[in-house]
């Protein structure tokens, strides 16, 4: 789950089966980069931006199961552009190798 508290975080455990199901659906459709944590982030930041006070679990399950791949991937694309450092997963040696490749094994 995310570090920021969202009013629907209390439903996370109950929604996990639906979240996993949706991620599996995305994988079958060729969207292999989807995962439960990122899907939850999409839902809490975008779909549930304005939480309802008396929301019912069945409504949240429906929201999860009706996420369209295009909506989710658009969100991921925007989030990637907002990322502060595109090279955060590359260590210094890998970055140096990319910037200064060795020529002819030297």
More confident: 34 or 9: 9
The domains of the chain are located at 7-99
| Alpha carbons 8 and 44: distance in angstroms, whole number | 8
More confident: 81 or 29: 29
Give 32-83 pLDDT, tens digit per residue.
Answer: 778 999 999 999 999 999 999 999 999 999 999 999 999 999 998 888 888 7
Q: What is the pLDDT of residue 19?
A: 98
Cβ–Cβ contacts within 10 Å for residue 75, how many? 19
Handedness of CA 52, 25, 70, 75 (dihedral sign): positive
Q: What is the pLDDT of residue 2?
A: 44
Nearest 10 degrees: CA dihedral of 11, 16, 22, 25? -170
């Amino acid at each position: 789950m995310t570090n920021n508290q969202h009013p629907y975080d209390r439903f996370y455990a109950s929604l996990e089966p639906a979240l996993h199901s949706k991620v599996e659906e995305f994988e079958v459709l060729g969207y292999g980069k989807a995962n439960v944590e990122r899907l939850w982030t999409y839902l809490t930041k975008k779909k549930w931006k304005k939480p309802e006070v008396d929301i019912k679990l069945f409504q949240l399950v429906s929201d999860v199961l009706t996420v369209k791949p295009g909506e989710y991937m658009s969100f991921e694309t925007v989030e990637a552009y907002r990322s502060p450092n595109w090279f955060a997963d590359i260590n210094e040696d890998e970055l140096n190798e990319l910037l200064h490749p060795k020529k002819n094994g030297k």
